[in-house]
Chains A and B, each alone.
Chain A
Amino acid sequence: DTAVSQTPKYLVTQMGNDKSIKCEQNLGHDTMYWYKQDSKKFLKIMFSYNNKELIINETVPNRFSPKSPDKAHLNLHINSLELGDSAVYFCASSHGGNTEAFFGQGTRLTVV
């Protein structure tokens, strides 16, 4: 049983396309996140949701739109993909800031 699962693991697409990444956690956590890891391995917070409500939007372009249909799911939709969007995107969850975060395996997005 995977605690935090995200799909797909790999995504190769052309510039201008729209794509989605799905994330589900079965840990009963109330907080979910999207992080972007660039080619230098730096992890940058994109969004944070608590009980389905957006808490943090860290200056992410409007082309990125997260959606949380319930506490266990946090999906990421990206419109009009650009070359600079190529990165590894990680979903994570936690009990607020009180415990560690559990991470998914990542989605490697390559825009060509």
Chain B
Amino acid sequence: AQSVTQLDSQVPVFEEAPVELRCNYSSSVSVYLFWYVQYPNQGLQLLLKYLSGSTLVKGINGFEAEFNKSQTSFHLRKPSVHISDTAEYFCAVSSPSFNKFYFGSGTKLNVKP
């Protein structure tokens, strides 16, 4: 069975500080990995994705993530956050054989001035 675990439900951080949002997954097959951001009352927007190739992927808004196969992790990082990064972040996995995307429970990033 497949699953996605986001270890932190909430992450408070001060503006301009670095942040890491953790994501671990479990799957018996190779997967593709994604991070989405959801701003209040909006849909999900793709931040970045790992399909193949370099394990360090860069996304929009200065975010990046590193795929670690041995650790089955795909942690999201940003070196300096802004107030506008306050949102809910979701990690997700998919595979051609799944016919759906598995989502983690989300991490609420709260950036304080």
- Residues of A that sit less than 8 Å from B by CB: 4, 31, 33, 40-43, 45, 48, 50, 55-56, 58, 90, 92, 94, 96-106, 108
Contact = CB atoms under 8 A, between A and B. Distances in A.
Contact of A97 (B88, B98, B103): B98
A47 to B, nearest CB: 9
B24 interface: no
Name the residue in B49, B92, B98 with the highest tally of chain A Cβ atoms < 10 Å from its Cβ.
Answer: B98
A98 B94 CA distance: 8
Interface residues of B, number: 27
B9 to A, nearest CB: 9
B53 interface: no
Contact of A98 (B88, B96, B100): B96
B103 A55 contact: no
B101 to A, nearest CB: 5
B43 A105 contact: yes
A96 B97 CA distance: 9
Contacts, number: 67
A106 B43 contact: yes
B5 interface: no
A55 B99 contact: yes
A22 B105 CA distance: 26
**A-B residue pairs, 5 tightest by C-beta:** A103-B43, A43-B103, A103-B44, A97-B94, A97-B96
8 contacts: A43-B106, A48-B100, A94-B94, A100-B46, A100-B49, A101-B94, A106-B41, A106-B42
Nearest to B49: A100
Contacts of B90: 43
Interface string B76-102: 000000000000101010111111110
